[in-house]
Amino acid sequence: MKAVYFAWVRERIGLSEEEIAPPREVATVRELIDWLSARGDGYAAAFANPGVIRAAVDKIHAGPNAPIDAAREIAFFPPMTGG
């Protein structure tokens, strides 16, 4: 699946997108955040405070318990500041 990052999540990770292949037991958005956090310092910094991280699964807002098994694209970003 594809992971995409925006705003300071993108800056801290140092990538705007990448292909990822989490193991089968990583089943939810929250579990994916934990799995990504272990990939390096940038990821750990980006996800240090998971409570402020927002996610979208296939371009629809998704909560921490949303399943990711059917996802093609998962996005992580800070709270939105548009408008």
Partner 1 sequence: MSAPQPAPTVRVQAEDFDAAREEALLLEGRRDVGALVAFTGLCRDEDGALAALELEHYPGMAEAEIARVAAEALARWPLLGLTIVHRFGTIKPGERIVLVLAAARSRRDAFAAAEFLMDYLKTRAPFWKKERRADAAPGEWVAAKTEDDAAAERWR
Q: Please state the closest distance from residue 59 (CB atom) to partner 1, in A.
A: 4
Q: Applying CB under 8 A, which residues contact partner 1?
A: 4, 6-8, 56, 59-61, 75, 77-83
Of the two residues 26 and 56, which places its CB atom closer to partner 1 in the complex?
56
Report the 10 Å Cβ neighbour count for 24.
6
Of the two residues 9 and 36, which places its CB atom closer to partner 1 in the complex?
9
Distance CA 23, CA 20 (A): 10
Helix, coil or strand: residue 73: strand
Which amino acid is present at 45? Answer: A
Of the two residues 16 and 38, which places its CB atom closer to partner 1 in the complex?
16
